[in-house]
């Protein structure tokens, strides 16, 4: 389905894409900017969702690229997590295409609230659970892989705040190094969006005009957000995550 966008509406979608790309690179939840804009322009929810997912892929990958130095040397770890995220993304995308959204949407605010609790308690919990010092990493276990699969499923289905979920999960089960975790989060959320987007392109009804506008804006925003986010102290970055996560809960409940 396509809606004939005016120049002002097209500019609004482009700007929303840039803002979403920046937020996704730093935290996640950029969908909570672009998705409501598409709804306001008259696109049906499912069409808005799949078009938004397709549009945010380039921005997600550009944000991940800015963290390439933090991720260097972790190829095996990233591959393991990527497999779990990919399987989750396929599951979530198929759920979106095949099932009604009411049951899944009802639990989304609960998942985000749990993620925020994990983010706030993450440094204390990680040290209590594993006795780790700052910057040390726990081995990948079944619980982490299951969590990444679940986050990928959520991301393939809707995507808003999947970055918040992943950061909270990683903080307890993987490491207390928030900048490193943010790089992993950017890579995996970009992968989830890309896998879901491929399925949506094959099967879904995509509005290509806003999808391309979001893509263009999100690339610029992803680079800017990634560069800016890498300069944030961990405490500030954690605060941004909490604020955006709370905004996501309010947005979804309203």
pLDDT digit string, tens, across residues 161-181: 788 888 888 888 888 787 888
With beta carbons less than 8 A apart as the criterion, state whether 60 and 190 touch.
yes
**Mean pLDDT (the chain, rounded):** 84
Please, where are the H alpha helices in the chain?
Answer: 7-26, 31-40, 45-65, 68-71, 75-98, 102-130, 142-157, 162-173, 178-203, 208-229, 234-253
Q: Which residue has the higher pLDDT, 166 or 114?
A: 166
Residue 62's CB: how many other CB atoms inside 10 A?
A: 23
0.85 cut: is pTM over it? no
Q: How many domains does the chain have?
A: 1
Q: What is the pLDDT of residue 223?
A: 85
Given a cut of 70, whether residue 229 has pLDDT beyond it is no
2 lies in a domain? no
User: If we measure between CA atoms, which residue out of 45, 48, 47, 46 comes closest to residue 16?
Assistant: 48
Identify the domain containing residue 27 by its residue range. 7-253
Q: Which residues of 166-202 are buried (b: 16+ CB within 10 A; e: fewer)?
A: bbbbbbbbbbbbbbbbbbbbbbbbbbbbbbbbebbee
**Does 233 fall in a domain?**
yes
* Predicted confidence (pLDDT) at residue 132 exceeds the cutoff of 60: no
63 part of a folded domain: yes
1 falls within a domain: no
Question: Does residue 124 contact residue 171 with C-beta atoms inside 8 Å?
Answer: no
pLDDT bin (cut points 50, 70, 90) of residue 194 is very high
3-state DSSP assignment of residue 137: strand
Looking at 72-101, list the stretches that DSSP marks H as alpha helix, in order from N- to C-terminal side: 75-98
3-class DSSP state for residue 113?
helix
DSSP secondary-structure letter at 139? P
CA distance 230 to 221: 14
Q: Tell me the percentage of the chain whose pLDDT exceeds 90.
A: 34
């Amino acid at each position: 389905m396509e809606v004939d966008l005016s120049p002002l509406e097209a500019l609004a979608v482009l700007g929303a894409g840039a803002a979403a790309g920046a937020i996704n690179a730093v935290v996640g939840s950029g969908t909570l900017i672009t998705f409501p804009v598409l709804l306001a322009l008259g696109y049906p929810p499912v069409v808005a969702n799949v078009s938004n997912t397709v549009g945010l892929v380039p921005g997600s990958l550009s944000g991940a690229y800015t963290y390439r130095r933090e991720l260097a040397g972790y190829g095996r770890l990233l591959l393991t997590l990527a497999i779990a995220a990919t399987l989750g993304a396929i599951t979530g995308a198929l759920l979106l295409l095949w099932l009604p959204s009411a049951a899944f949407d009802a639990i989304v605010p609960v998942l985000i609230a749990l993620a925020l609790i994990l983010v706030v308690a993450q440094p204390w919990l990680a040290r209590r659970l594993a006795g780790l010092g700052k910057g040390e990493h726990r081995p990948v276990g079944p619980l982490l892989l299951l969590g990444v699969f679940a986050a990928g499923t959520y991301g393939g289905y809707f995507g808003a705040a999947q970055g918040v979920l992943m950061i909270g999960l990683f903080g307890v089960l993987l490491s207390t190094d928030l900048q490193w975790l943010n790089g992993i989060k950017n890579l995996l959320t970009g992968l989830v969006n890309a896998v879901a987007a491929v399925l949506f392109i094959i099967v879904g009804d995509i509005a290509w005009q806003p999808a391309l506008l979001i893509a263009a804006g999100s690339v610029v925003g992803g680079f800017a957000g990634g560069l800016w986010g890498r300069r944030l102290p961990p405490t500030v970055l954690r605060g941004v995550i909490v604020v955006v996560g709370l905004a996501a809960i309010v947005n979804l409940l309203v």
